[in-house]
């Protein structure tokens, strides 16, 4: 039996970082440049940070500043899309792929669909424009990226730069990016590069949605209005307060005692896969079941009635949602269950996932601290398929 590989704390794990340091990775026109790990508060781990929680907290707190700087960073001049478009992603990037595909479906003449990386072996993707999300240029996606290079078209969303790949001695990734940069493939850079010192990621999963919306807005400005930065900035200030309210009503012990359900309304509920990862990879709890408010009554509600469970309701201030939310709450209370834990967004439908992600980052961090060593982010193992290129057999 082959023993799984241990998670990598990185060579910076023993650095004595001063948490008061304000330095963050600088943003150029096209990429986040990586300073030396010992000088980078988003990649260095203090000796006192036994489980990696302090590093994750710094990353969450850095998102607002990274957001403002990222919004000032221009996108590449993208070629218009038409015809069949396949949007690919794996892990947390799969949720970004599904999100962008949903947005692109609203553009006339574009027939977009979200695809799994394994579908690269199917012939159904022949002739399509390929869009790939891969924050860290996972080996699992190299076959897709090579296909993009061969097609001389497509879009690659990544946080990985040629310089970063060279500095971290990732020769194959550096070679791929060199080929990408000399091809007709457009590259959309997003934060953050090398987010691998701990198991769960928070920066890349948030910015993947933002980058996807910015691209959709550039391709179809009449369909997708520019982001109002002041609304997002206000959301950042409210997210910790909303998380605190949720945490006053539950605990990690309670969540571990029965199943967890993420319930909400379309379209945002369709893009909460990554919030499930916060429970699974972050708090080491069961991966939640996701359903719309109406779907919840077709099976999940009956299971909660018999076995109990924790329901997170992702909602907004839309009047169309109020009656459904009230009925859900009344149904749960009527069978002796607790009312849902409400995560309410004030953003427009296409951007609500940004608020849900941010609130749940704060919830996740608190649950991890409650769990202590049970949520250790530094001592984990990788499966043997994590670093495989599916095109090499």
pLDDT along the chain (393 residues), means of 10: 41 36 46 55 93 98 97 95 95 95 98 83 71 93 91 95 88 93 94 94 98 98 97 99 99 98 95 96 97 97 98 96 97 98 97 99 99 97 78 48
Distance CA 143, CA 121 (A): 10
Helix or strand (DSSP H, E) at 87:
strand 83-89
CA 173 to chain centre: 21
Q: Please tell me what DSSP assigns to residue 78.
A: P
Candidates 57, 63, 26; CA nearest to 237 is: 63
Based on the number of CB atoms within 10 Å of its own CB, is 389 exposed (0-12), middle (13-18) or buried (19 or more)?
middle
**What 3-state class would DSSP assign to 375?**
helix
Instruction: Measure the CA–CA gap between 204 and 43, rounded to whole angstroms.
Output: 13
Q: Quick one: pLDDT at residue 122?
A: 57
Q: CA-CA distance, 175 to 239, in Å (whole number)?
A: 40
Question: Does residue 291 sit in helix, strand or coil?
Answer: strand
**Residue pair 157/180 in contact by the 8 Å Cβ criterion:** no
Rounded Cα distance between 343 and 84, Å, is 36
From 135, 137, 132, select the one nearest 174 (Cα to Cα).
137
Return d(Cα 162, Cα 44) in angstroms, integer.
21
For the chain, the C-alpha Rg in angstroms (whole number) is 21
**Domains contained in the chain, CATH given:** 8-73 (no CATH), 83-219 (3.40.50.10490), 229-375 (3.40.50.10490)
Contact criterion met (CB below 8 Å) for 188 and 207:
no
The Cα–Cα gap between 162 and 173 comes to 8
332-to-161, 308, 314 alpha-carbon distances in Å:
49, 10, 16
Q: Please, are residues 147 and 179 in contact by the beta-carbon 8 Å criterion?
A: no
Q: Closest by alpha carbon to 252, among 339, 373, 378, 364?
A: 364
Mention every residue, 6+ apart, whose C-beta is less than 8 A from residue 22: none
Residue 190, phi-psi category: left (phi > 0), alpha (psi -120 to 50), beta (remainder): beta
Q: Checking DSSP bridges between strand 26-27 and strand 32-33, what pairing results, if any? A: antiparallel
Task: Give the H or E element holding residue 305.
Answer: helix 300-307
* Separation between Cα atoms, residue 329 and residue 334, nearest integer Å: 9
Bridge-partner residues for 83, per DSSP? 110
The answer to whether the beta carbons of residues 134 and 141 sit under 8 Å apart is yes
Cα-based angle 275, 216, 389 (whole degrees, multiple of 5)? 60
Can you give the pLDDT at residue 123?
Answer: 52
pTM of the model: 0.90
Element (H, E) at 274: helix 273-277
Q: Map residue 116 onto helix, strand or coil.
A: strand
């Amino acid at each position: 039996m082959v023993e799984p590989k241990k998670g990598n704390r990185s060579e910076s794990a023993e650095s004595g970082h001063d948490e008061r340091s304000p330095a963050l990775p600088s943003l150029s026109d096209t990429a986040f440049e990586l300073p030396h790990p010992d000088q980078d508060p988003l990649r260095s781990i203090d000796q006192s940070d036994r489980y990696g929680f302090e590093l994750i907290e710094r990353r969450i707190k850095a998102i607002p500043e990274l957001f403002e700087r990222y919004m000032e960073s221009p996108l590449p001049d993208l070629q218009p899309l038409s015809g069949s478009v396949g949007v690919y992603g794996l892990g947390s990037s799969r949720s970004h792929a599904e999100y962008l595909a949903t947005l692109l479906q609203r553009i006339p003449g574009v027939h977009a669909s979200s695809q799994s990386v394994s579908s690269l072996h199917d012939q159904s993707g022949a002739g399509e424009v390929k869009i790939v999300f891969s924050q860290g240029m996972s080996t699992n996606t190299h076959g897709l990226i090579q296909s993009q290079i061969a097609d001389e078209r497509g879009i690659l969303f990544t946080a990985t730069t040629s310089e970063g790949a060279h500095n971290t001695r990732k020769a194959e990734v550096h070679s791929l990016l060199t080929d990408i940069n000399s091809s007709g493939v457009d590259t959309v850079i997003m934060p953050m590069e090398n987010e691998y010192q701990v198991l769960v990621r928070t920066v890349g999963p948030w910015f993947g949605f933002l980058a996807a919306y910015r691209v959709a807005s550039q391709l179809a400005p009449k369909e997708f209005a520019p982001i109002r930065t002041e609304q997002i900035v206000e959301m950042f200030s409210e997210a910790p307060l909303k998380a605190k309210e949720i945490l006053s009503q539950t605990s990690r012990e309670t969540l571990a005692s029965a199943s967890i359900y993420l319930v909400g309304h379309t379209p945002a509920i369709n893009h909460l896969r990554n919030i499930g990862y916060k429970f699974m990879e972050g708090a080491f709890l069961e991966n939640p079941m996701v359903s719309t408010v109406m779907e919840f009554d077709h099976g999940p509600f009956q299971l909660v009635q018999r076995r109990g469970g924790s329901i997170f309701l992702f909602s907004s201030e839309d009047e169309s949602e109020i009656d459904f939310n009230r009925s859900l709450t009344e149904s749960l209370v009527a069978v002796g269950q607790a009312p849902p834990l409400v995560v309410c967004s004030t953003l427009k439908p296409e951007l609500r996932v940004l608020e849900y992600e941010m609130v749940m980052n704060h919830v996740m961090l608190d649950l991890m601290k409650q769990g202590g060593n049970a949520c250790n982010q530094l001592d984990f193992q990788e499966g043997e398929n994590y670093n495989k290129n599916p095109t090499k057999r």
